[in-house]
Amino acid sequence: MVSLKELLGSPVILLALSAEEYYQNAYKTARELQDVYGSLCYVSIEKPACDVAAELKAAGLRANTLFVAGPAALAEKRRKTPEIKCSECGLAIVDLTVGIFGLIDRYHPAAVVIEPIAAIAKHNPEMEAAKFIHYLANDSRTHKRALVLICKKSELKTKFVKDVMLFVDKVVSD
């Protein structure tokens, strides 16, 4: 597991996690970041926002300073966590913009975690997905907000993640 020290001090970080216990480690990282930064926006690309909100709460994150963006769940499968502010959004770049920046511009979290970033490129042209990450990275630096981009270790060699590496300040691997 990555030590918290490695995630502090650089505004934009790419964190590569092993596929085994991927979510457990991602949530643990989120909890540690929330402890340090106070408020956190967690963006899930593959799991519905309400499910992730429930899982993050179960992993020990504080609900009142946690904001979650991600795809919508089917109504009948929706897990309810009304105490956590969730933004359900599509995965096209404009939808992610509305979902993520809706939370950032309203609640001003001190740190943002996005996982898994490679999934953004599955739903959008790679170049557009890379520019979206670039925009987020620039915006995070401008507003002194921490940004942790999470990918699976196996994705480190993909062209998209290699492109993303150009915009980050540090790459950390577990």
Give yes or no for residue 128 binding other proteins (CB under 8 A): yes
Give yes or no for residue 2 binding other proteins (CB under 8 A): no
User: Residue 6 or 95: which CB sits closer to other proteins?
Assistant: 95
Instruction: State in angstroms the smallest separation of the CB of 66 from other proteins.
Output: 19
Contact with other proteins (CB under 8 A): which of 59, 102, 110, 171? 102
Give yes or no for residue 135 binding other proteins (CB under 8 A): yes
| Contact criterion met (CB below 8 Å) for 166 and 32 | no
Q: Which of 97, 172, 104, 91 minimizes the C-alpha distance to 140? A: 104
Helix/strand/coil for 84: coil
Q: What is the CB-side half-sphere exposure of residue 146 using CA atoms within 13 A? A: 25
What is the distance between the alpha carbons of residues 167 and 170, in angstroms, rounded to a whole number? 9
Contact with other proteins (CB under 8 A): which of 92, 108, 143, 154? 92
Q: Give the interface segment with other proteins, choosing from 39-47, 87-95, 112-120, 160-168 (CB under 8 A).
A: 87-95
Q: Which of 2, 1, 15, 24 minimizes the C-alpha distance to 111? A: 15
Interface residues with other proteins (CB under 8 A)?
92-95, 97-98, 101-102, 105-106, 127-128, 131-132, 135
